Structure 1
Amino acid sequence: MITESRRRAFLDAMQITTWLPRAELPFAAPSRPELLQFFEAEEEAAPVVEPQPAPQPARATSEGLAPAAAASTSPAADAARAVMSRVSMPESKKSAIKADEGQTRAVEQSVAVPPPRFALQLLRAGNVLLLVELPTGESFQSRDPAYILLKDLLRAARLPDSPQQVGDGEPIRWPLLHRGSLDQGAEAARDYVQGVVAAELEDMGCACLWLVGSPALRFAGEVEPDACYRELTIEGLGVALTMPGLEQLMEQPGSKAQLWKAMRRSMPRWVIGLSGSTSSVHE
């Protein structure tokens, strides 16, 4: 069974505002009585539409105008007028039509964009909350190279090197559903990730939030993946320290020095009575 905070985040991501369980759920908040009341909508009277008299065809005022009117309604005349209207169309109108066509194509392309795919693990080490990208998409194992590097980072930051899983321990995966018409775009993914993290902060605050990996930066910090080694103030989540992914740190040893400088600047947030330290991130 999932906790109430995780369940609430799932429902918000699926845009469900009112729901009733089939049976009593453990750890769930009590149902509100007002949700059980149903009201029938009053039937509105159909509007009365008065018939309009059919317009009478215009008559020619003289015999000289009759041939001209007949010629104007011929198919050849209509085709000629259509061609002339396109030739004499102002450039501004042509550009406006092209702009509208471009916007239509952009909308069609945006609809066809597949939902983002990622897996994040929410962990806690002391008074620091960690949102870490899972390189393999599965939970960390004790002998994973990425997990060993994460433990090294925690020791260098003077934090417990055995982070605890938060909630039910299940990773935050996206998309939620593999079928259906539910909107699972980038905006919905951002709302869901921030909702899960905010629910944990509501239960137990933290001194700093670590965002490790590009999905954590994009969907929790709302910044580009290259915005690493800096502090952010996120509305509803507080202060966060941005870091590259664990795989990138293993592939690019030089980035560890940049990360260590950023960690030293932010360390007073979670370490009380900080003094000069000579610790370093393990290569």
Structure 2
Amino acid sequence: MNELQRQAYLSSLGIENYMPRWCLPKAPPPVACDWSDVNVNHIVSEGFLSSDSAVESEVGRDGSAFFSKEPAALPSVSPVKISSLLEDVAAPKKPVVSSTPVQPERSKEPVVQPFSLSLWRPTPGFLVIDTRDASLALPTELLLSNLLRVYLGPDWSGGLSEEVLRWPMVENRFVSQTLDDARVELQTWLAVEHELRPITRLWLMGENAVRYFAAENINIDEFRFRSLPLALGGLAGVYLPGLNQLLQQPLLKASLWAAIR
């Protein structure tokens, strides 16, 4: 290409010096720049050539010593050599065996399998979150209705409508979900829920309904049948056995009544 254009391209790319190593097969021969009508001072001011005095004295003010009027003689190579060179560049590198002992990989946080929670809203401000296990097919809603009928008294209408909260809320098969991921997502959901419909009474029934909402660094087993501090400040819930567990272990109902009273 024209030498001025070539220098402009190299300058734009931030390349100060460039020299081709091979003349590729079927490539046009290089053509020297005709400097007869070129102002070297303009070339220097544009940054194509260095303004260093030593370089200028070696090049000459007219650039005649730097660029020959004859085509530059570049070493040529055969197509076979170029092909072999490209194959060598593209060939995968052999793995380097290090003498340094490999450090064992740190244990990753266990992955939490998808699960779901059952939600009920018996009265305004009253939220019940239960660990859901549809595979057991037990009459959990009927049991909850009986509990609430006694707990809330005759004024309660007795209407219940179950909502199912599935986690993860946005399924992504390519990302492993950990305990921290579940905590962040469910605690964010509870914060939004409390903002939209303020919660004044909260029952957390079963382990899954507790572990993701509880404050960190506490032993949730110590708060069973007691008020449990939650990660969301200003809100507390009562940790109760799950409805499925109450149906399978009826003797737990005595402790449950003592807790909610």
TM-score (norm 1): 0.48
Shift of 1:125: 1.4
| CA–CA separation in structure 2 for the residues paired with 1:209 and 1:156 | 17
What's the counterpart of residue 188 of structure 2?
A: 195
Amino acid at match of 2:129: L
| CA–CA separation in structure 2 for the residues paired with 1:134 and 1:179 | 22
What's the counterpart of residue 177 of structure 1?
A: 171
1:217 touches 1:224 (CA, 8 Å); kept in 2?
A: no
2:111 touches 2:179 (CA, 8 Å); kept in 1?
A: no
Identity of matched residues, %: 27
Amino acid at match of 2:141: Y
User: 1:110 aligned to 2:108?
Assistant: yes
Alignment map for 1:195-234 (pairs within 5 Å): 195-222=188-215, 226=221, 227-234=223-230
Larger CA Rg, structure 1 vs 2: 2
Alignment map for 1:230-241 (pairs within 5 Å): 230-234=226-230, 235-236=232-233, 238-241=235-238
Structure 1 stretches (4+) deviating beyond 3 angstroms?
Answer: 222-227
2:116 touches 2:164 (CA, 8 Å); kept in 1?
A: no
1:120 touches 1:171 (CA, 8 Å); kept in 2?
A: yes
1:213 touches 1:243 (CA, 8 Å); kept in 2?
A: yes
What's the counterpart of residue 148 of structure 1?
A: 142
Change (3 A) 1:170 1:147: closer
| CA–CA separation in structure 2 for the residues paired with 1:252 and 1:261 | 16
Shift of 1:137: 6.8
Q: Secondary structure of the equivalent of 1:125?
A: coil
Change (3 A) 1:247 1:238: same
Q: What does the per-residue CA deviation read over 1:75-120, in whole Å, with 9 as the maximum and x for residues that have no partner?
A: xxxxxxx9xxxxxxxxxxxxxx9xx95xx34x2x425x33233201
Amino acid at match of 2:184: D
Q: What does the per-residue CA deviation read over 1:55-86, in whole Å, with 9 as the maximum and x for residues that have no partner?
A: xxxxxxxxxxxxxxxxxxxxxxxxxxx9xxxx
Q: What does the per-residue CA deviation read over 1:18-69, in whole Å, with 9 as the maximum and x for residues that have no partner?
A: xxxxxxxxxxxxxxxxxxxxxxxxxxx98x9xxxxxxxxxxxxxxxxxxxxx
Shift of 1:180: 1.1
**Stretches of structure 2 lacking an aligned partner (at least 5 in a row):** 1-12, 17-98
| CA–CA separation in structure 2 for the residues paired with 1:237 and 1:125 | 21
Alignment map for 1:18-167 (pairs within 5 Å): 101=103, 104-105=104-105, 107=106, 109-110=107-108, 113-126=110-123, 127-136=125-134, 144-158=138-152, 160=156, 161-165=158-162
Instruction: Name the structure with the higher helix share.
Output: 1
2:183 touches 2:213 (CA, 8 Å); kept in 1?
A: yes
**Stretches of structure 1 lacking an aligned partner (at least 5 in a row):** 1-44, 49-81, 83-96, 265-283
Shift of 1:236: 3.5
2:205 touches 2:243 (CA, 8 Å); kept in 1?
A: yes
TM-score (norm 2): 0.52
Change (3 A) 1:158 1:172: same
Change (3 A) 1:242 1:145: same
Out of 186, 189, 194, the residue aligned to residue 179 of structure 2 is 186
* Number of residue equivalences: 159
Q: What does the per-residue CA deviation read over 1:98-156, in whole Å, with 9 as the maximum and x for residues that have no partner?
A: xx95xx34x2x425x33233201222111311111212179x9xxx5111111112112
Q: Secondary structure of the equivalent of 2:225?
A: coil
1:218 touches 1:224 (CA, 8 Å); kept in 2?
A: no
| CA–CA separation in structure 1 for the residues paired with 2:152 and 2:240 | 17
1:118 touches 1:137 (CA, 8 Å); kept in 2?
A: no
| CA–CA separation in structure 1 for the residues paired with 2:142 and 2:119 | 16
| CA–CA separation in structure 2 for the residues paired with 1:238 and 1:221 | 10
| CA–CA separation in structure 2 for the residues paired with 1:224 and 1:162 | 35
Change (3 A) 1:209 1:237: farther
Change (3 A) 1:252 1:170: closer
Q: Secondary structure of the equivalent of 1:171?
A: strand
